[in-house]
Structure 1
Protein backbone atom coordinates (compact mmCIF):
# COMPACT_ATOMS: atom_id res chain seq x y z
CA UNK A 1 0.00 0.00 0.00
CA UNK A 2 1.24 3.48 -0.95
CA UNK A 3 0.07 6.86 0.30
CA UNK A 4 -0.58 10.29 -1.18
CA UNK A 5 -0.32 13.02 1.49
CA UNK A 6 -3.29 15.38 1.60
CA UNK A 7 -4.13 18.22 3.97
CA UNK A 8 -6.20 16.08 6.32
CA UNK A 9 -4.30 12.81 6.10
CA UNK A 10 -3.64 10.58 3.11
CA UNK A 11 -5.07 8.66 0.18
CA UNK A 12 -4.16 4.96 -0.05
CA UNK A 13 -3.43 3.30 -3.37
CA UNK A 14 -1.88 0.27 -5.06
CA UNK A 15 0.66 0.60 -7.88
CA UNK A 16 1.32 -2.40 -10.14
CA UNK A 17 3.21 -2.78 -13.42
CA UNK A 18 4.67 -0.39 -15.98
CA UNK A 19 3.29 1.38 -19.02
CA UNK A 20 0.43 3.80 -19.66
CA UNK A 21 -1.38 4.56 -16.40
CA UNK A 22 -4.80 3.01 -15.70
CA UNK A 23 -6.50 4.27 -12.55
CA UNK A 24 -9.22 2.07 -11.01
CA UNK A 25 -11.90 3.89 -8.98
CA UNK A 26 -14.18 1.82 -6.75
CA UNK A 27 -17.86 1.80 -5.80
CA UNK A 28 -19.22 3.78 -2.87
CA UNK A 29 -19.18 1.98 0.52
CA UNK A 30 -16.62 -0.48 -0.85
CA UNK A 31 -12.88 0.07 -1.34
CA UNK A 32 -10.03 -0.62 -3.75
CA UNK A 33 -10.10 -4.35 -2.93
CA UNK A 34 -13.07 -4.57 -5.28
CA UNK A 35 -10.50 -4.43 -8.08
CA UNK A 36 -8.52 -7.50 -6.99
CA UNK A 37 -9.58 -9.47 -10.12
CA UNK A 38 -8.26 -6.64 -12.34
CA UNK A 39 -5.22 -5.32 -10.44
CA UNK A 40 -2.73 -7.71 -12.06
CA UNK A 41 -4.73 -8.40 -15.23
CA UNK A 42 -3.37 -5.64 -17.50
CA UNK A 43 0.24 -6.45 -18.43
CA UNK A 44 1.84 -3.57 -20.31
CA UNK A 45 0.00 -1.00 -18.21
CA UNK A 46 0.71 0.69 -14.90
CA UNK A 47 -2.39 -0.12 -12.86
CA UNK A 48 -3.31 2.09 -9.93
CA UNK A 49 -6.19 1.41 -7.53
CA UNK A 50 -7.20 4.28 -5.24
CA UNK A 51 -9.19 4.26 -2.01
CA UNK A 52 -11.53 7.25 -2.04
CA UNK A 53 -11.61 9.41 1.06
CA UNK A 54 -13.76 7.82 3.73
CA UNK A 55 -13.17 4.35 2.30
CA UNK A 56 -10.62 1.58 2.78
CA UNK A 57 -7.26 2.75 4.07
CA UNK A 58 -7.67 6.40 3.08
CA UNK A 59 -8.40 9.10 5.66
CA UNK A 60 -11.91 9.98 6.77
CA UNK A 61 -12.84 13.42 5.40
CA UNK A 62 -13.39 16.26 7.84
CA UNK A 63 -13.45 19.20 5.40
CA UNK A 64 -15.12 19.73 1.99
CA UNK A 65 -13.38 18.19 -1.02
CA UNK A 66 -13.89 17.03 -4.61
CA UNK A 67 -13.24 13.45 -5.68
CA UNK A 68 -11.93 14.66 -9.03
CA UNK A 69 -9.32 16.75 -7.23
CA UNK A 70 -8.20 13.66 -5.31
CA UNK A 71 -7.68 11.85 -8.62
CA UNK A 72 -5.50 14.73 -9.77
CA UNK A 73 -3.62 14.70 -6.45
CA UNK A 74 -2.61 11.09 -7.15
CA UNK A 75 -1.56 11.81 -10.73
CA UNK A 76 0.47 14.83 -9.57
CA UNK A 77 2.06 12.79 -6.78
CA UNK A 78 3.26 10.27 -9.36
CA UNK A 79 4.20 12.92 -11.99
CA UNK A 80 1.75 11.41 -14.45
CA UNK A 81 0.52 13.76 -17.18
CA UNK A 82 -2.67 11.75 -17.68
CA UNK A 83 -4.30 8.35 -17.14
CA UNK A 84 -7.07 6.11 -18.35
CA UNK A 85 -9.80 6.08 -15.72
CA UNK A 86 -11.88 2.97 -15.02
CA UNK A 87 -14.65 3.62 -12.51
CA UNK A 88 -17.56 1.60 -11.23
CA UNK A 89 -20.65 3.21 -9.68
CA UNK A 90 -19.31 6.03 -7.44
CA UNK A 91 -15.94 5.54 -9.13
CA UNK A 92 -17.54 6.12 -12.51
CA UNK A 93 -19.11 9.38 -11.35
CA UNK A 94 -15.70 10.41 -9.99
CA UNK A 95 -14.13 9.65 -13.36
CA UNK A 96 -16.73 11.81 -15.11
CA UNK A 97 -16.21 14.66 -12.65
CA UNK A 98 -12.47 14.43 -13.32
CA UNK A 99 -12.75 14.52 -17.11
CA UNK A 100 -15.10 17.50 -16.92
CA UNK A 101 -12.97 19.58 -14.54
CA UNK A 102 -9.53 18.34 -15.71
CA UNK A 103 -10.01 17.22 -19.34
CA UNK A 104 -6.31 17.26 -20.22
CA UNK A 105 -5.54 14.66 -17.52
CA UNK A 106 -7.89 11.92 -18.82
CA UNK A 107 -6.86 9.91 -21.89
CA UNK A 108 -10.04 7.83 -21.93
CA UNK A 109 -12.53 6.40 -19.48
CA UNK A 110 -14.65 3.37 -18.69
CA UNK A 111 -17.69 4.00 -16.50
CA UNK A 112 -19.68 1.06 -15.20
CA UNK A 113 -23.11 1.14 -13.56
CA UNK A 114 -23.56 4.89 -13.16
CA UNK A 115 -24.70 8.23 -14.45
CA UNK A 116 -22.89 11.45 -13.69
CA UNK A 117 -22.34 12.58 -10.08
CA UNK A 118 -25.76 14.26 -10.32
CA UNK A 119 -27.51 10.89 -10.13
CA UNK A 120 -31.24 10.58 -9.54
CA UNK A 121 -33.42 7.76 -8.27
CA UNK A 122 -37.01 7.16 -9.39
CA UNK A 123 -37.64 3.42 -9.13
CA UNK A 124 -39.48 2.31 -6.00
CA UNK A 125 -36.90 -0.46 -5.49
CA UNK A 126 -34.05 2.02 -5.06
CA UNK A 127 -36.00 4.78 -3.31
CA UNK A 128 -37.50 2.42 -0.72
CA UNK A 129 -34.22 0.69 0.08
CA UNK A 130 -32.31 3.98 0.29
CA UNK A 131 -34.88 5.16 2.81
CA UNK A 132 -34.53 1.91 4.75
CA UNK A 133 -30.74 2.22 4.69
CA UNK A 134 -30.89 5.73 6.12
CA UNK A 135 -33.18 4.48 8.89
CA UNK A 136 -30.57 1.85 9.78
CA UNK A 137 -27.90 4.56 9.80
CA UNK A 138 -30.00 6.78 12.10
CA UNK A 139 -30.41 3.86 14.52
CA UNK A 140 -26.68 3.01 14.18
CA UNK A 141 -27.65 -0.47 13.04
CA UNK A 142 -24.52 -1.34 11.08
CA UNK A 143 -25.61 -4.88 10.19
CA UNK A 144 -28.92 -3.63 8.84
CA UNK A 145 -27.22 -0.80 6.95
CA UNK A 146 -24.79 -3.16 5.24
CA UNK A 147 -27.45 -5.77 4.41
CA UNK A 148 -29.59 -3.10 2.79
CA UNK A 149 -26.56 -1.96 0.79
CA UNK A 150 -26.09 -5.54 -0.44
CA UNK A 151 -29.73 -5.85 -1.43
CA UNK A 152 -29.47 -2.60 -3.39
CA UNK A 153 -26.15 -2.94 -5.17
CA UNK A 154 -25.22 -6.63 -5.12
CA UNK A 155 -28.55 -8.48 -5.39
CA UNK A 156 -30.43 -5.75 -7.26
CA UNK A 157 -34.13 -5.72 -8.21
CA UNK A 158 -34.20 -9.00 -10.11
CA UNK A 159 -32.53 -11.48 -7.73
CA UNK A 160 -32.90 -12.78 -4.20
CA UNK A 161 -29.71 -12.96 -2.10
CA UNK A 162 -29.37 -16.72 -2.60
CA UNK A 163 -29.31 -16.23 -6.38
CA UNK A 164 -26.08 -14.21 -6.20
CA UNK A 165 -22.61 -15.77 -6.09
CA UNK A 166 -22.03 -16.04 -2.33
CA UNK A 167 -18.34 -15.19 -2.68
CA UNK A 168 -19.22 -11.88 -4.37
CA UNK A 169 -21.78 -11.06 -1.71
CA UNK A 170 -19.39 -11.89 1.14
CA UNK A 171 -16.53 -9.92 -0.39
CA UNK A 172 -18.77 -6.86 -0.69
CA UNK A 173 -20.11 -7.37 2.85
CA UNK A 174 -16.57 -7.39 4.24
CA UNK A 175 -15.64 -4.15 2.48
CA UNK A 176 -18.90 -2.42 3.39
CA UNK A 177 -18.57 -3.40 7.05
CA UNK A 178 -15.02 -2.05 7.11
CA UNK A 179 -16.19 1.27 5.68
CA UNK A 180 -19.09 1.54 8.12
CA UNK A 181 -17.02 0.63 11.17
CA UNK A 182 -13.92 2.63 10.24
CA UNK A 183 -15.23 5.80 8.64
CA UNK A 184 -18.72 6.46 10.01
CA UNK A 185 -19.03 9.84 11.75
CA UNK A 186 -21.97 11.52 13.50
CA UNK A 187 -21.37 14.55 11.25
CA UNK A 188 -20.25 13.07 7.91
CA UNK A 189 -18.59 15.28 5.30
CA UNK A 190 -19.78 14.54 1.79
CA UNK A 191 -17.79 15.43 -1.34
CA UNK A 192 -18.73 18.24 -3.66
CA UNK A 193 -19.63 17.56 -7.27
CA UNK A 194 -18.69 18.97 -10.62
CA UNK A 195 -21.26 21.51 -11.80
CA UNK A 196 -23.89 20.98 -14.50
CA UNK A 197 -22.62 17.52 -15.37
CA UNK A 198 -25.46 16.39 -17.59
CA UNK A 199 -25.22 19.56 -19.69
CA UNK A 200 -21.44 19.26 -19.93
CA UNK A 201 -21.36 15.73 -21.34
CA UNK A 202 -21.26 17.13 -24.86
CA UNK A 203 -17.92 18.74 -24.05
CA UNK A 204 -16.21 15.47 -23.02
CA UNK A 205 -13.66 14.79 -25.76
CA UNK A 206 -12.09 11.66 -24.26
CA UNK A 207 -13.36 8.33 -25.63
CA UNK A 208 -15.81 6.69 -23.22
CA UNK A 209 -17.00 3.14 -22.79
CA UNK A 210 -20.11 2.60 -20.68
CA UNK A 211 -20.83 -0.77 -19.07
CA UNK A 212 -24.03 -1.85 -17.36
CA UNK A 213 -25.23 -5.17 -16.01
CA UNK A 214 -28.43 -6.52 -17.52
CA UNK A 215 -29.86 -7.13 -14.02
CA UNK A 216 -29.05 -3.68 -12.64
CA UNK A 217 -31.90 -1.31 -11.77
CA UNK A 218 -33.81 0.71 -14.37
CA UNK A 219 -32.42 4.02 -13.08
CA UNK A 220 -28.86 2.87 -13.71
CA UNK A 221 -29.74 1.69 -17.22
CA UNK A 222 -31.37 5.01 -18.04
CA UNK A 223 -28.46 7.08 -16.72
CA UNK A 224 -25.79 4.90 -18.36
CA UNK A 225 -27.52 5.24 -21.72
CA UNK A 226 -27.85 8.98 -21.18
CA UNK A 227 -24.13 9.33 -20.44
CA UNK A 228 -23.07 7.33 -23.50
CA UNK A 229 -25.45 9.16 -25.84
CA UNK A 230 -24.42 12.52 -24.39
CA UNK A 231 -20.70 12.34 -25.14
CA UNK A 232 -19.31 12.67 -28.67
CA UNK A 233 -17.32 9.40 -28.57
CA UNK A 234 -19.24 6.92 -26.43
CA UNK A 235 -20.25 3.28 -26.62
CA UNK A 236 -22.29 1.07 -24.30
CA UNK A 237 -21.90 -2.63 -23.55
CA UNK A 238 -24.54 -4.58 -21.61
CA UNK A 239 -23.36 -7.60 -19.62
CA UNK A 240 -26.07 -10.24 -19.79
CA UNK A 241 -26.74 -12.07 -16.53
CA UNK A 242 -24.82 -9.59 -14.37
CA UNK A 243 -26.05 -7.12 -11.79
CA UNK A 244 -24.43 -3.93 -10.53
CA UNK A 245 -21.10 -5.52 -9.51
CA UNK A 246 -20.10 -6.40 -13.06
CA UNK A 247 -16.35 -6.63 -12.50
CA UNK A 248 -16.79 -9.18 -9.68
CA UNK A 249 -19.58 -11.23 -11.23
CA UNK A 250 -17.99 -11.53 -14.67
CA UNK A 251 -14.32 -10.63 -14.09
CA UNK A 252 -12.92 -12.28 -17.20
CA UNK A 253 -15.35 -10.61 -19.56
CA UNK A 254 -15.02 -7.28 -17.77
CA UNK A 255 -11.22 -7.40 -17.93
CA UNK A 256 -11.19 -8.44 -21.60
CA UNK A 257 -13.65 -5.67 -22.52
CA UNK A 258 -11.65 -3.00 -20.74
CA UNK A 259 -8.38 -4.35 -22.13
CA UNK A 260 -9.69 -4.16 -25.69
CA UNK A 261 -10.81 -0.57 -25.14
CA UNK A 262 -7.46 0.44 -23.61
CA UNK A 263 -5.43 -1.25 -26.34
CA UNK A 264 -7.38 0.53 -29.07
CA UNK A 265 -6.76 3.90 -27.42
CA UNK A 266 -3.11 3.17 -26.66
CA UNK A 267 -2.43 2.06 -30.24
CA UNK A 268 -3.94 5.33 -31.46
CA UNK A 269 -1.60 7.37 -29.26
CA UNK A 270 1.60 5.67 -30.41
Structure 2
Protein backbone atom coordinates (compact mmCIF):
# COMPACT_ATOMS: atom_id res chain seq x y z
CA UNK A 1 0.00 0.00 0.00
CA UNK A 2 1.17 3.52 -0.87
CA UNK A 3 0.10 6.70 0.93
CA UNK A 4 -0.55 10.18 -0.46
CA UNK A 5 -0.51 12.56 2.53
CA UNK A 6 -2.67 15.61 3.10
CA UNK A 7 -3.12 17.96 6.04
CA UNK A 8 -5.03 15.65 8.39
CA UNK A 9 -4.40 12.20 6.95
CA UNK A 10 -3.65 10.29 3.78
CA UNK A 11 -5.10 8.45 0.80
CA UNK A 12 -4.17 4.80 0.38
CA UNK A 13 -3.53 3.68 -3.19
CA UNK A 14 -2.04 0.99 -5.43
CA UNK A 15 0.38 1.94 -8.21
CA UNK A 16 0.70 -0.71 -10.92
CA UNK A 17 2.33 -0.63 -14.35
CA UNK A 18 3.73 2.06 -16.62
CA UNK A 19 2.24 4.32 -19.25
CA UNK A 20 -0.52 6.94 -19.32
CA UNK A 21 -2.01 7.12 -15.81
CA UNK A 22 -5.52 5.82 -15.14
CA UNK A 23 -7.06 6.51 -11.72
CA UNK A 24 -9.75 4.09 -10.52
CA UNK A 25 -12.32 5.55 -8.10
CA UNK A 26 -14.64 3.20 -6.22
CA UNK A 27 -18.25 3.20 -5.04
CA UNK A 28 -19.37 4.81 -1.80
CA UNK A 29 -19.42 2.46 1.23
CA UNK A 30 -17.06 0.08 -0.60
CA UNK A 31 -13.33 0.50 -1.19
CA UNK A 32 -10.61 0.03 -3.78
CA UNK A 33 -10.93 -3.76 -3.61
CA UNK A 34 -13.88 -3.50 -6.01
CA UNK A 35 -11.30 -3.09 -8.78
CA UNK A 36 -9.32 -6.28 -8.11
CA UNK A 37 -10.28 -7.67 -11.54
CA UNK A 38 -9.15 -4.47 -13.24
CA UNK A 39 -5.75 -3.96 -11.60
CA UNK A 40 -3.71 -6.08 -14.00
CA UNK A 41 -5.92 -5.83 -17.08
CA UNK A 42 -4.44 -2.66 -18.57
CA UNK A 43 -0.92 -3.37 -19.80
CA UNK A 44 0.64 -0.21 -21.20
CA UNK A 45 -1.13 2.00 -18.66
CA UNK A 46 -0.26 3.05 -15.13
CA UNK A 47 -3.14 1.95 -12.90
CA UNK A 48 -3.68 4.03 -9.75
CA UNK A 49 -6.32 2.51 -7.49
CA UNK A 50 -7.23 4.76 -4.57
CA UNK A 51 -9.37 4.52 -1.43
CA UNK A 52 -11.49 7.62 -0.93
CA UNK A 53 -11.38 9.36 2.43
CA UNK A 54 -13.44 7.47 4.97
CA UNK A 55 -13.12 4.21 3.04
CA UNK A 56 -10.74 1.26 3.00
CA UNK A 57 -7.25 2.04 4.25
CA UNK A 58 -7.49 5.82 3.80
CA UNK A 59 -7.97 8.20 6.71
CA UNK A 60 -11.36 9.06 8.17
CA UNK A 61 -12.06 12.72 7.34
CA UNK A 62 -11.89 15.26 10.15
CA UNK A 63 -12.05 18.50 8.13
CA UNK A 64 -14.12 19.72 5.18
CA UNK A 65 -12.94 18.56 1.76
CA UNK A 66 -13.91 18.03 -1.87
CA UNK A 67 -13.41 14.64 -3.51
CA UNK A 68 -12.28 16.31 -6.73
CA UNK A 69 -9.56 18.11 -4.77
CA UNK A 70 -8.44 14.77 -3.33
CA UNK A 71 -8.03 13.39 -6.86
CA UNK A 72 -5.82 16.31 -7.86
CA UNK A 73 -3.90 16.00 -4.58
CA UNK A 74 -3.05 12.42 -5.54
CA UNK A 75 -1.91 13.59 -8.99
CA UNK A 76 0.21 16.32 -7.38
CA UNK A 77 1.76 13.81 -4.98
CA UNK A 78 2.78 11.66 -7.96
CA UNK A 79 3.91 14.59 -10.10
CA UNK A 80 1.28 13.92 -12.76
CA UNK A 81 -0.17 16.72 -14.85
CA UNK A 82 -3.32 14.78 -15.74
CA UNK A 83 -4.86 11.30 -15.83
CA UNK A 84 -7.77 9.31 -17.15
CA UNK A 85 -10.40 8.77 -14.46
CA UNK A 86 -12.52 5.62 -14.21
CA UNK A 87 -15.25 5.93 -11.59
CA UNK A 88 -18.06 3.71 -10.40
CA UNK A 89 -21.05 5.27 -8.56
CA UNK A 90 -19.55 7.70 -5.97
CA UNK A 91 -16.24 7.33 -7.77
CA UNK A 92 -17.88 8.43 -10.99
CA UNK A 93 -19.33 11.53 -9.36
CA UNK A 94 -15.88 12.30 -7.94
CA UNK A 95 -14.35 11.91 -11.39
CA UNK A 96 -16.91 14.26 -12.94
CA UNK A 97 -16.41 16.80 -10.13
CA UNK A 98 -12.69 16.71 -10.91
CA UNK A 99 -13.32 17.33 -14.60
CA UNK A 100 -15.64 20.25 -13.83
CA UNK A 101 -13.46 21.97 -11.23
CA UNK A 102 -10.00 20.97 -12.53
CA UNK A 103 -10.50 20.47 -16.30
CA UNK A 104 -6.80 20.56 -17.13
CA UNK A 105 -6.10 17.58 -14.88
CA UNK A 106 -8.43 15.09 -16.63
CA UNK A 107 -7.60 13.40 -19.94
CA UNK A 108 -10.79 11.38 -20.24
CA UNK A 109 -13.65 9.97 -18.18
CA UNK A 110 -15.32 6.60 -17.71
CA UNK A 111 -18.45 6.91 -15.57
CA UNK A 112 -20.21 3.73 -14.49
CA UNK A 113 -23.56 3.70 -12.70
CA UNK A 114 -23.81 7.34 -11.61
CA UNK A 115 -25.08 10.83 -12.20
CA UNK A 116 -23.24 13.97 -11.17
CA UNK A 117 -22.44 14.57 -7.48
CA UNK A 118 -25.86 16.25 -7.33
CA UNK A 119 -27.60 12.91 -7.81
CA UNK A 120 -31.34 12.66 -7.30
CA UNK A 121 -33.49 9.68 -6.37
CA UNK A 122 -37.08 9.37 -7.53
CA UNK A 123 -37.80 5.67 -8.02
CA UNK A 124 -39.90 4.03 -5.30
CA UNK A 125 -37.36 1.21 -4.97
CA UNK A 126 -34.43 3.51 -4.22
CA UNK A 127 -36.31 5.98 -2.03
CA UNK A 128 -37.78 3.21 0.13
CA UNK A 129 -34.49 1.39 0.66
CA UNK A 130 -32.56 4.61 1.35
CA UNK A 131 -35.14 5.41 4.04
CA UNK A 132 -34.81 1.95 5.54
CA UNK A 133 -31.03 2.22 5.44
CA UNK A 134 -31.10 5.48 7.36
CA UNK A 135 -33.43 3.94 9.91
CA UNK A 136 -30.86 1.18 10.44
CA UNK A 137 -28.14 3.81 10.83
CA UNK A 138 -30.07 5.70 13.50
CA UNK A 139 -30.78 2.42 15.29
CA UNK A 140 -27.06 1.48 15.05
CA UNK A 141 -28.06 -1.67 13.25
CA UNK A 142 -24.90 -2.19 11.21
CA UNK A 143 -25.97 -5.53 9.76
CA UNK A 144 -29.27 -4.05 8.62
CA UNK A 145 -27.55 -0.97 7.20
CA UNK A 146 -25.18 -3.10 5.13
CA UNK A 147 -27.98 -5.40 3.96
CA UNK A 148 -29.97 -2.39 2.71
CA UNK A 149 -26.87 -1.25 0.84
CA UNK A 150 -26.55 -4.66 -0.80
CA UNK A 151 -30.22 -4.70 -1.76
CA UNK A 152 -29.87 -1.26 -3.34
CA UNK A 153 -26.59 -1.49 -5.19
CA UNK A 154 -25.71 -5.17 -5.58
CA UNK A 155 -29.10 -6.84 -6.09
CA UNK A 156 -30.98 -3.84 -7.48
CA UNK A 157 -34.67 -3.53 -8.33
CA UNK A 158 -34.92 -6.53 -10.66
CA UNK A 159 -33.27 -9.36 -8.69
CA UNK A 160 -33.60 -11.17 -5.41
CA UNK A 161 -30.42 -11.64 -3.34
CA UNK A 162 -30.28 -15.32 -4.35
CA UNK A 163 -30.18 -14.30 -8.03
CA UNK A 164 -26.84 -12.50 -7.60
CA UNK A 165 -23.49 -14.28 -7.70
CA UNK A 166 -22.85 -15.08 -3.99
CA UNK A 167 -19.14 -14.23 -4.12
CA UNK A 168 -19.89 -10.70 -5.39
CA UNK A 169 -22.44 -10.13 -2.65
CA UNK A 170 -20.03 -11.41 0.00
CA UNK A 171 -17.12 -9.29 -1.26
CA UNK A 172 -19.33 -6.20 -1.18
CA UNK A 173 -20.64 -7.10 2.28
CA UNK A 174 -17.08 -7.39 3.59
CA UNK A 175 -16.08 -3.99 2.19
CA UNK A 176 -19.26 -2.28 3.40
CA UNK A 177 -18.87 -3.75 6.90
CA UNK A 178 -15.29 -2.50 7.03
CA UNK A 179 -16.41 1.02 6.12
CA UNK A 180 -19.29 0.95 8.59
CA UNK A 181 -17.20 -0.32 11.49
CA UNK A 182 -13.87 1.40 10.87
CA UNK A 183 -14.90 4.82 9.56
CA UNK A 184 -18.28 5.56 11.11
CA UNK A 185 -18.34 8.53 13.49
CA UNK A 186 -21.16 10.11 15.55
CA UNK A 187 -20.81 13.38 13.62
CA UNK A 188 -19.24 12.43 10.29
CA UNK A 189 -17.55 15.01 8.09
CA UNK A 190 -19.24 14.87 4.69
CA UNK A 191 -17.49 15.98 1.51
CA UNK A 192 -18.54 19.05 -0.40
CA UNK A 193 -19.66 18.93 -4.03
CA UNK A 194 -18.86 20.78 -7.20
CA UNK A 195 -21.37 23.55 -7.80
CA UNK A 196 -24.15 23.58 -10.39
CA UNK A 197 -23.01 20.31 -11.96
CA UNK A 198 -25.95 19.61 -14.24
CA UNK A 199 -25.82 23.04 -15.84
CA UNK A 200 -22.05 22.81 -16.37
CA UNK A 201 -21.97 19.45 -18.14
CA UNK A 202 -21.46 21.03 -21.55
CA UNK A 203 -18.18 22.47 -20.21
CA UNK A 204 -16.71 18.95 -20.06
CA UNK A 205 -14.60 18.74 -23.20
CA UNK A 206 -12.71 15.50 -22.66
CA UNK A 207 -13.94 12.18 -24.10
CA UNK A 208 -16.44 10.41 -21.85
CA UNK A 209 -17.70 6.84 -21.77
CA UNK A 210 -20.84 6.12 -19.75
CA UNK A 211 -21.48 2.55 -18.63
CA UNK A 212 -24.85 1.31 -17.38
CA UNK A 213 -25.96 -2.10 -16.19
CA UNK A 214 -29.28 -3.05 -17.78
CA UNK A 215 -30.65 -4.15 -14.38
CA UNK A 216 -29.66 -0.98 -12.52
CA UNK A 217 -32.34 1.38 -11.21
CA UNK A 218 -34.19 3.80 -13.47
CA UNK A 219 -32.67 6.84 -11.74
CA UNK A 220 -29.16 5.76 -12.73
CA UNK A 221 -30.23 5.23 -16.33
CA UNK A 222 -31.95 8.61 -16.45
CA UNK A 223 -28.94 10.45 -15.02
CA UNK A 224 -26.40 8.71 -17.25
CA UNK A 225 -28.56 9.41 -20.32
CA UNK A 226 -28.66 13.06 -19.30
CA UNK A 227 -24.87 13.22 -18.93
CA UNK A 228 -24.13 11.48 -22.22
CA UNK A 229 -26.64 13.60 -24.14
CA UNK A 230 -25.11 16.83 -22.79
CA UNK A 231 -21.34 16.27 -22.74
CA UNK A 232 -20.11 17.00 -26.29
CA UNK A 233 -17.80 14.00 -26.78
CA UNK A 234 -19.66 11.26 -24.91
CA UNK A 235 -21.11 7.83 -25.59
CA UNK A 236 -23.01 5.23 -23.58
CA UNK A 237 -22.59 1.48 -23.39
CA UNK A 238 -25.23 -0.72 -21.78
CA UNK A 239 -24.39 -4.10 -20.25
CA UNK A 240 -27.22 -6.60 -20.69
CA UNK A 241 -27.85 -8.87 -17.73
CA UNK A 242 -25.79 -6.81 -15.30
CA UNK A 243 -26.83 -4.75 -12.31
CA UNK A 244 -25.10 -1.77 -10.72
CA UNK A 245 -21.75 -3.51 -10.08
CA UNK A 246 -20.88 -3.92 -13.75
CA UNK A 247 -17.11 -4.20 -13.24
CA UNK A 248 -17.58 -7.08 -10.79
CA UNK A 249 -20.37 -8.91 -12.62
CA UNK A 250 -18.91 -8.71 -16.13
CA UNK A 251 -15.22 -7.87 -15.58
CA UNK A 252 -13.94 -9.08 -18.95
CA UNK A 253 -16.45 -7.09 -20.94
CA UNK A 254 -15.99 -4.07 -18.66
CA UNK A 255 -12.21 -4.21 -19.09
CA UNK A 256 -12.55 -4.59 -22.84
CA UNK A 257 -14.87 -1.56 -23.08
CA UNK A 258 -12.62 0.62 -20.93
CA UNK A 259 -9.48 -0.55 -22.73
CA UNK A 260 -11.01 0.18 -26.12
CA UNK A 261 -12.01 3.67 -24.95
CA UNK A 262 -8.55 4.41 -23.52
CA UNK A 263 -6.77 3.18 -26.64
CA UNK A 264 -9.01 5.32 -28.84
CA UNK A 265 -8.52 8.58 -26.94
CA UNK A 266 -5.00 8.34 -25.48
Q: What is the TM-score with the length of structure 2 in the denominator?
A: 1.00
Aligned-residue offset at 1:215: 0.1
Find the counterpart in structure 2 of residue 151 from structure 1. 151
Partner of 1:107: 107
Q: How many angstroms apart in 2 are the aligned matches of 1:169 and 1:223?
A: 25
Counterpart Cα distance in 2 of 1:33 and 1:168:
11
Matched, 1:88 2:88: yes
SS of residue paired to 1:236? strand
Q: Which runs of 5+ in 2 are unaligned?
A: none
Gaps of 5+ in 1: none
Runs of 4+ in 1 over 2 A off after TM superposition: none
* Superposition map of 1:256-267 within 5 A: 256-266=256-266
RMSD (Å), alpha carbons: 0.4
The correspondence of residues 114-153 of structure 1 with structure 2, limited to 5 A, is 114-153=114-153
Deviations 1:151-182 (A, max 9, x none): 00000000000000001100000000000000
Could you report, residue by residue, the CA deviation over 1:87-113 in whole angstroms, capped at 9, with x for unpaired residues?
000000000000000000000010000
In 2, distance between residues paired with 1:145 and 1:239?
Answer: 28
Counterpart CA distance in 2 for 1:139 and 1:7 is: 33
Structure 1 residue 21, shift from structure 2 partner = 0.0
Q: 1:18 and 2:18 equivalent?
A: yes
Distance 2:41 2:170 in 1: 22
Number of residue pairs aligned between Structure 1 and Structure 2: 266
* CA–CA separation in structure 2 for the residues paired with 1:134 and 1:63: 23
Distance 2:191 2:101 in 1: 15
* Corresponding residue number in structure 2 for 1:32: 32
Give the whole-Å Cα distance in 2 for the aligned partners of 1:75 and 1:18. 15
Which residues in structure 2 correspond to 1:1-270 (within 5 Å)?
1-266=1-266
In 2, Cα distance between the equivalents of 1:79 and 1:4? 11
**What's the secondary structure of 2:111's corresponding residue?**
strand
Superposed CA deviations along residues 176-227 of structure 1, whole A, max 9, x for unmatched, are 0000000000001110000000000001000000000000000000001001
Question: Shift in Å at residue 242 of structure 1?
Answer: 0.2
Other structure's SS at 1:29 match: coil
Shift of 1:63: 1.0
Q: CA deviation at 1:230?
A: 1.0
> If the length of structure 1 is used for normalisation, what is the TM-score?
0.98
**How far 1:62 sits from its partner (Å)?**
1.1
